[in-house]
Amino acid sequence: MKYRFSARMGSFSSSAVRDILKLTQGNSIVSFAGGLPAEEHFPVKAISEAFQGVMEQGKKALQYGLTEGFLPLREALCKRMAAKGMNVTPDNMLIATGSQQVIDLLTRVIIDPGDVILVERPTYLSALQVFQSYGAVLVSVNGDSDGIDLDDLKAKLAQYKPKMLYVIPTFSNPTGKVWSEERRRGTLELCRNTDTLILEDDPYGELKFGDASKSYPSLFSLDQHPEGSCVVYTSTFSKTVAPGLRTGWALGDSEVIRQLARTKQAADLQSSSLDQQTLHYLLEHFDLDGHISRIRTEYESRMRVMADLLKQHDWRGAKWEEPKGGMFFWVELPEEVNTAELLKTAVELGVAFVPGFTFFADNPQMNAMRLNFSYNDAAVTATGMERLNKALSGVLV
Amino acid sequence: MKYRFSARMGSFSSSAVRDILKLTQGNSIVSFAGGLPAEEHFPVKAISEAFQGVMEQGKKALQYGLTEGFLPLREALCKRMAAKGMNVTPDNMLIATGSQQVIDLLTRVIIDPGDVILVERPTYLSALQVFQSYGAVLVSVNGDSDGIDLDDLKAKLAQYKPKMLYVIPTFSNPTGKVWSEERRRGTLELCRNTDTLILEDDPYGELKFGDASKSYPSLFSLDQHPEGSCVVYTSTFSKTVAPGLRTGWALGDSEVIRQLARTKQAADLQSSSLDQQTLHYLLEHFDLDGHISRIRTEYESRMRVMADLLKQHDWRGAKWEEPKGGMFFWVELPEEVNTAELLKTAVELGVAFVPGFTFFADNPQMNAMRLNFSYNDAAVTATGMERLNKALSGVLV
């Protein structure tokens, strides 16, 4: 049998990086590569109790449910969203199998082959893969520590007439940066004037460090009205409760949500009823904000451990900023360092990271790396950073 | 904001039938429309115990997992598949969010716009929608009560050079029919000779009635070797355990499975870890075959209730066969009856079904209807059939 695959499978280039990182699974390599939350802080007891509560309510929890998502969960999430200035009804919301699925479904709903999507440079690797698999043309927009460059955005909106702009304004993956409010408002205005849909990806917004009262308004909240909004917002329980429950959500105009639901019905009918009902019970009976506050404190302390080690090792020519939230450090090394090459040495020495070039849609930067600080505890992080230092000592002579 | 949707969204025609059926939710209408299992027979206690068992094993159950699926679940499923003559390793298997997702992912992996997919007439509605959304050209192949018509299949393979053939050989949705072994072997031979991939959809295979020792070998098992097979097989726990756990699987050549996994990674990273681990625990600690045997008995008795009522009402010119398994009756009415029109009257009278025309890729038959017998108990079924009789009395004068 000769298998004949679709043309789009060619867009999933075999990833040398993924192959190397696969080697790191299940052995003694310290991994700063993944974007994994800290398992020891999962609310296991609360999830157990929620599940039992759901099962006591009856067999309906195991039946097929609505494609749009379990209505009481959507209602409870509306309340949480309202507290963040996003005034939505359940008709503005779709529950999905993680926010990754929202990225996939929205791309299907909006993009025809050849359509342009603007993205930040750098940005989330797996979003780039989704966009490419639907034949989108990707163009990256410059940015600085305050967020996307509005002049470059304006020029590229005019030049490429994109259908969509994909952004992570709060605690970016991979850089950990936060956009200023001016950049947020400027982006909204430019996109609204050109009928460009914004996909705002916000997996990390709840994981903020420092002053708890400081808030970074989402683009969706600044757009004020969900109906007619030029923003589709997505977030997830993967970083605040647990990724294994695979539950994220999209917010947007009800017309866009209806199209997402049609697409989702074809894709998988619906996400797990049991996970959705368990999360609904959790929202009603568990102090999720208290829990989030505890993991914020823990992640901030893990971030600080890695920051101290970065200072201590003081690699020649390395540049990095302390993230204000999220899960990642973005470290730029001197231009002559190729981090894809460095990864091979690092894995031999027992430590892994993601080379920066994978996060670029075009003109990749070869001398950067993304380091996750949320997954490992202080002792493991110290061991890993020691090994990384050894790997770097060979190239930073 | 003016939303610009992709061309593929035009393939999701607004469904008048779906709009009518939405009216039936949450009120006193008796629905023979859905394909829902009987809730009162869900193994609630066993699922509860399995969940507790999983949570006791630790926090890993809540972490991100492999895109291909939880390895111990795949290993346990390999044993179940081997008992049905399908000798696979975990590399031949992908876990998905229901078999609906397998249909979606395989279509992405195989189909470019304009490629031809052959389908049975009639066939599963939601598969047709997936295929159309990827721009496939659908051509239907004739069949009779022994399965697909091999002459017509041969002619259409030659004429259309399809990339894929989609079939439900055992207890078809919507007709409830079973293919003979001769048709199964004939189809395999024709497809192998033309490098046509077969997607074998088997959601109902375990729900067989009558002689328990009688077995209907899957096309995949008749193809003998998973490596190089021209069949991708998919099944699900939705009908045997519960749909709310949203867990199905694909079997196929490891090269095809690798491509499915790449596509799934972009689509949603992975299916629910918790659901997969709960099902694994269930397979290890619960007598699933004993449970399936009990629901077989129950569904057969529900089927017989509906068969008796069909005989009793004896609609003029109606033709139907008693299904050998599955969840559906397919009733053909006299040619002058339009079941799409009939549905409006039926819903007014308090009963719903799915009009047959929705199950055809081309040249729809307008005088048939699909009746589900698994969801309602005997009393509700009697009430619904009484109402349906009343609706029909207006057209069968």
Q: Where are the domains of chain B?
A: 7-43+290-393, 60-285
Is it true that the peptide bond before B174 is cis, omega within 30 degrees of 0? yes
Give the pLDDT confidence score for residue B91 in this predicted structure.
97
Nearest Cα of chain A lies from the Cα of B108 at a distance, in angstroms, of: 7
B44 touches chain A (CB under 8 A): yes
Q: Would you state the torsion angle of the CA atoms of residues A152, A158, A161, A163, taken in this order, to the nearest 10 degrees?
A: 50
Overall size of chain B counted in residues: 397
pLDDT band of A10, cuts 50, 70, 90: confident
Give the pLDDT confidence score for residue B16 in this predicted structure.
65
Question: Do A126 and B269 count as a contact with CB atoms less than 8 A apart?
Answer: yes
Element (H, E) at A236: strand A231-236
Question: Do B126 and A269 count as a contact with CB atoms less than 8 A apart?
Answer: yes
Q: Which residues of A touch B108 (CB under 8 A)?
A: 6, 8, 133
The C-alpha atoms of residue B279 and residue B290 are separated, in whole angstroms, by 16
- Identify whether the C-beta of residue A22 lies closer than 8 Å to the C-beta of residue A354: no
* Nearest C-alpha in A relative to B277: A244
pLDDT band of A214, cuts 50, 70, 90: confident
B332 touches chain A (CB under 8 A): no
The C-alpha atoms of residue A280 and residue B146 are separated, in whole angstroms, by 47
Q: Which residues of B touch A4 (CB under 8 A)?
A: 110, 163, 195, 197
Best A124, A230, A236, A246 member to test B by mutation, with max B CBs in 10 Å, is A246
Burial of A259 (0-12, 13-18, 19+ CB in 10 A): buried
Residue A25 has pLDDT above 80, yes or no: no
Nearest Cα of chain B lies from the Cα of A225 at a distance, in angstroms, of: 11
How is domain B7-43+290-393 classified at the CATH fold level? Aspartate Aminotransferase, domain 1 (3.90.1150)
Determine the average pLDDT of the residues in A97-125: 97
Nearest to B195 among A2, A12, A115 (CB): A2
For chain B, which ranges sit under pLDDT 50?
Answer: none
Q: Which residues of B touch A104 (CB under 8 A)?
A: 266-268
Best B8, B44, B60, B62 member to test A by mutation, with max A CBs in 10 Å, is B62
Give the pLDDT confidence score for residue A16 in this predicted structure.
65
Residue A297 has pLDDT above 70, yes or no: yes
Give the pLDDT confidence score for residue A197 in this predicted structure.
98
Single out the residue of A256, A326, A246, A312 nearest to residue A279, CA to CA.
A246
The C-alpha atoms of residue B207 and residue B289 are separated, in whole angstroms, by 11
Q: Which residues of A touch B192 (CB under 8 A)?
A: 1
The C-alpha atoms of residue A110 and residue B41 are separated, in whole angstroms, by 41
Range in A12-16, A47-51, B386-390 the model is least confident about: A12-16
Helix axes B378-393, B288-313, angle to 10 degrees: 30
Burial of B328 (0-12, 13-18, 19+ CB in 10 A): buried
Give the pLDDT confidence score for residue B224 in this predicted structure.
82
Whole-number average pLDDT of chain A: 94
* Nearest C-alpha in B relative to A135: B112
Question: Do A1 and B112 count as a contact with CB atoms less than 8 A apart?
Answer: no
Q: Pick one of 2.40.50.140, 1.20.1090.10, 3.30.450.20, 3.40.640.10 as the CATH number of B60-285.
A: 3.40.640.10
Nearest Cα of chain B lies from the Cα of A135 at a distance, in angstroms, of: 12
A22 touches chain B (CB under 8 A): no
**CATH architecture for residues A13-42+290-393:** Alpha-Beta Complex (3.90)
Q: Which of residues 179-198 of B touch A (CB under 8 A)?
A: 192, 195, 197
Give the pLDDT confidence score for residue A14 in this predicted structure.
57
Question: Do A268 and B97 count as a contact with CB atoms less than 8 A apart?
Answer: yes
Which of B351 and A25 is assigned the larger pLDDT?
B351
The answer to whether the Cα torsion of A73, A92, A100, B90 is positive or negative is positive
Nearest to B228 among A1, A44, A238 (CB): A1
Question: Do B272 and A275 count as a contact with CB atoms less than 8 A apart?
Answer: yes
Single out the residue of A7, A31, A6, A36 nearest to residue A21, CA to CA.
A31
- Fill in the amino acid letter for B84: K
Give the pLDDT confidence score for residue B240 in this predicted structure.
94
Nearest to B192 among A1, A115, A273 (CB): A1
Question: Do B230 and A1 count as a contact with CB atoms less than 8 A apart?
Answer: yes
Nearest Cα of chain B lies from the Cα of A308 at a distance, in angstroms, of: 27
* Nearest C-alpha in A relative to B245: A272
Nearest to A268 among B39, B100, B197 (CB): B100
Give me the residue label for tokens 């397998």: B102
Nearest to A8 among B62, B108, B245 (CB): B108
Q: Would you state the torsion angle of the CA atoms of residues B24, B26, B30, B33, taken in this order, to the nearest 10 degrees?
A: 50
Whether the domain at A13-42+290-393 and the domain at A44-285 fall into the same CATH topology: no
B318 touches chain A (CB under 8 A): no
A383 touches chain B (CB under 8 A): no
* Nearest C-alpha in A relative to B43: A59
Give the pLDDT confidence score for residue B394 in this predicted structure.
83
- What is the count of residue pairs from A and B with beta carbons less than 8 Å apart? 232
Give the pLDDT confidence score for residue B25 in this predicted structure.
67
The C-alpha atoms of residue B112 and residue B232 are separated, in whole angstroms, by 18
- Fill in the amino acid letter for B140: S
Nearest Cα of chain A lies from the Cα of B163 at a distance, in angstroms, of: 8
Q: Pick one of 3.40.640.10, 3.40.800.10, 3.30.70.980, 3.40.630.30 as the CATH number of A44-285.
A: 3.40.640.10
Give the pLDDT confidence score for residue A13 in this predicted structure.
65
* Nearest C-alpha in A relative to B125: A266
A258 touches chain B (CB under 8 A): no
A362 touches chain B (CB under 8 A): no
Q: Which residues of B touch A188 (CB under 8 A)?
A: none
Q: Which residues of A touch B274 (CB under 8 A)?
A: 244-245, 272, 274-275, 278
Helix (H, G, I), strand (E, B) or coil at A148: strand
